[in-house]
Amino acid sequence: MSHYQLKDGVAVIVLDNPPVNALALALRLRLADAVHSALNDPEANAVVLTGAGRGFCGGGDITEFDLPALSQAPTLMALFSLIERSPKPVVAALHGNALGGGLELALACHARVAQSKTQVGLPEVHLGLVPGAGGTQRLPRLVGPELALNLVLQGRTCSAQSLSESGLFDRLTDAAPLDSAVQLARELAAEVARGRSLKRAGELTPKLPNAQAFFAYARATAKAQSRGLPAPVACVDCVEYSVTLPFQEGLDREFDTFWRLRGTPEFAGLRHAFLAERKASEVAGLPTEAKPRPVERTVVIGGGTMGSGIAMSLANAGLPVTMIEREQPALDRGLASVRDTYLGALKKGRLSEQQFEQRVALINGALDYEAVKEADLVIEAVFEDLDIKRQVFEQLDAAARPGALLATNTSMLDVNRIAAFTNRPEDVIGLHFFSPAHVMKLLEVVRGERTSPAVLATAMNLARRIGKTAVVSGVCEGFIGNRMLQPYLMQAGLLLDEGALPHQIDRAIEKWGMAMGPFRVSDMAGNDLGAKIREQRLAEQPDLVYSRSFDTIVAIGRSGQKVGRGWYDYVPGQRAPVPSEEVIAAVVAESERLGLKRRAISDEEIVDRLLLALVNEGAKILEEGIAQRASDVDVVYTAGYGFPRWRGGPMFEADQRGLGDVLATMQRFSDGPAYQRCADFWRPAGLLCRLAGQGQSFATFNHSELS
């Protein structure tokens, strides 16, 4: 777990706890022993701490955060104090990542040497926490309170090179940092021998003019932007302690704050979301011998909004892309869209000139399938029509080389049927990107019934390469995300019929935490697109009940944001949508047509009906084996559908609420207007009933138990 060796008078201690050298209890014990050994070794004049493998240290072990091990000796606070108070110089040699507790460990050392590309940061705020081992107290003393607050509050990672002038690092190197760190350790030891004091962060005094006004403004800003989450404001408080309190008192306040936040529901949800994303990359039943195929040359069929976004996702990872369209004007529009997007990023400072030129150069256009012949991966992103996709895949089957991956970006259609259009269904897979594809993190990887393990492994590897959060789904209408979205939208419409209005429904669910309510989402996606999906679903399932208000809105030309009129009016130059009197009149008229007396509907009922519609459909998806695990369903919704990350996801939220209460609430909703067929809609999934009856949760569910 840690290694100790003497190198010309310098004790080199190597952190070794794969994969990220997390500071779990076992590593803390070994590290404390190694530090004591160095301090007691008469031949060791200095100490260097470094990490084995790909990085220095990824921080605390999040899996221990609700276990007694978190507070067992040596705690991080005690260990870092031991290092900081060492009479012998301790130098951190950083490479790869130094995040969270890993950076806090480096801050406790007397000097830091970093490879210039090392990624550093204190991301605890993204878990609903503050740094809990001195980060908010030592960092301001080294780089100043303003920069420290920016790093802590945003929780962002950045390269060591970008902080070269901050005072955080004593030396930067393009090479491996160990030799430079050992040399610096020897120099510091010589200075100590001459009577010079070591630089201990805790002994420095941070200075900030007008500190009271600065922190008051920062606190107000954090409160306004955090939507009620406690961690951002707590981060401001803790950095302020570094300026206003003695070091040890600041440490104590920071730790108390960390411990308090660790018990909040926000931390529980964010921790679940973090661990769920890590778990989602593990594909159940994938043979170990299934190795990813190389992907270097790519083709995207279609240059529309989705196709150009997918092309940029690939180019952003350094992959050359050929974007194919049928006609020159469409291809020109697609390439212009790519260039304009990159140009906007350049103007905002998100890309350098070199990056701009490189990425634009990686994306080329074509009007034929010649590029398909040499491609390792082809992604189809054409109109959502099965006949059109048939034409595309028949051409791909004829043109693509053996072993090339043929992927469809369909959001609703049957991947197995699409695969059957080829003579190589084992090479066909669904890659459902979310729009805008170059921005959204979620990628649903849809495994067809004949998709080969090697193709699935290649898709998951590609997802990591292009920076996507991948979730494996089986084949069904809408896969995981869009299948669950349909009952959610159905309930939103039925709430309109009974007495709610679009802006009330959106406001209620957004106040609860969703990024956007169902009607704002519909306007953004296009209400005409929603109409096509409803038409397809009703053709196959005529018993489904949607509010006719959906079709009324489309019939009167309110297609959404793209035309400035949808469920809302969109005023040029005004960001907020405006409730529409025309829409309100149409909604009220539909209630009258149904013979319903409109009633007052509480925000609580709105949230419950929308949320539990998601939960029940998610339970059916799990029972059918479409999703591998409940946490995968949660990842789809937190990463792709605006579900509040701090609530963990719909299935986690149901567990927190209690499945018995979920069933009881659904039972209440099953008694409603006759035309809605409420008893059918709210009939609970068998899995939900079974888990509730056994006092279990979605978190404990394993699909193999059903077989």
Q: Catalytic residues, which ones?
A: 104, 124
Give the list of residues 6+ apart from residue 269 with CB closer than 8 angstroms, or none: 128, 644, 645, 646, 647, 648, 649, 652, 653, 656
**CA gap 43, 29 in Å, rounded:** 23
As a whole number of angstroms, the distance between CA 339 and CA 618 comes to 39
Alpha-carbon distance of 475 to 430, in angstroms, equals 9
Give the CA angle between residues 675, 678, 684 to the nearest 5°: 155
- Amino acid sitting at position 197: S
Distances (CA, A) of 548 to 184, 471, 535: 74, 34, 12
Q: Which helix (H) or strand (E) holds 256?
A: helix 247-261
Beta-sheet strand order (sheet of 90-94): 2-7, 10-15, 46-51, 90-94, 111-115, 171-173
Residue 417 one-letter amino acid: R
Helices (H), 499-580: 502-512, 518-525, 527-540, 549-555
Task: Please list, in sequence order, all residues whose beta carbon lies within 8 angstroms of the beta carbon of residue 647, skipping any fewer than 6 positions away.
Answer: 269, 513, 653
Helix, strand, coil % in the chain, rounded to nearest 5: 55, 10, 35
CB 207 within 8 Å of CB 189: no
CA distance 484 to 68: 38
Q: Which residue has the tokens 């905002």?
A: 348
Among residues 188, 40, 202, the alpha carbon closest in space to that of 112 is found at 188
Burial of 348 (0-12, 13-18, 19+ CB in 10 A): exposed
Which residue stretches of 603-657 are H helix?
603-624, 630-640, 650-657
